[in-house]
Structure 1
Amino acid sequence: MRTIAPALMLAGTVLVAGCDRPMSSGEKGAAVGAAAGTGIGLVTGGSFGQVVGAGLIGGAVGYLGGSAVGK
């Protein structure tokens, strides 16, 4: 419980602090692309070492693609 409470407080602070204005279409595209790319990379990655690498690469490619499409 000692480690969960600070983590939850930090997560709540980040969520509240990140909502100063509505997201632009480029930011929305980047967020959706990064989430989708990470998910696809994790599902198709294979063994654990490959899953982590595939998730990171998929997230980066999805971020770049999503932000390009969103602009």
Structure 2
Amino acid sequence: DALRPEAERIAADIAPDLPPALAVALVAAWSQLFGLVSFEVFGQFHRVVEDRDAFFAAAARRLGQDVGLLPRG
């Protein structure tokens, strides 16, 4: 697949003990968490999400589950 060389480079640079696909998933989750924080800090959820605390917690939990840091369910 086209991403394989990049995935292998990312894994070698940041987490050589992890499979390349998991290293890429961690970078993706990190960028998504950064986006969540930015949206919250700069008010982008205003008039979109009413219970922002619950939304943020659920979204962060899902990211943790997606990369295997938290169990699903």
Same fold per TM (> 0.5)?
no
Higher relative contact order, chain-length normalized (CA < 8 Å, sep 6+)? 1
State TM-score, norm by structure 2. Answer: 0.34
State TM-score, norm by structure 1. Answer: 0.35
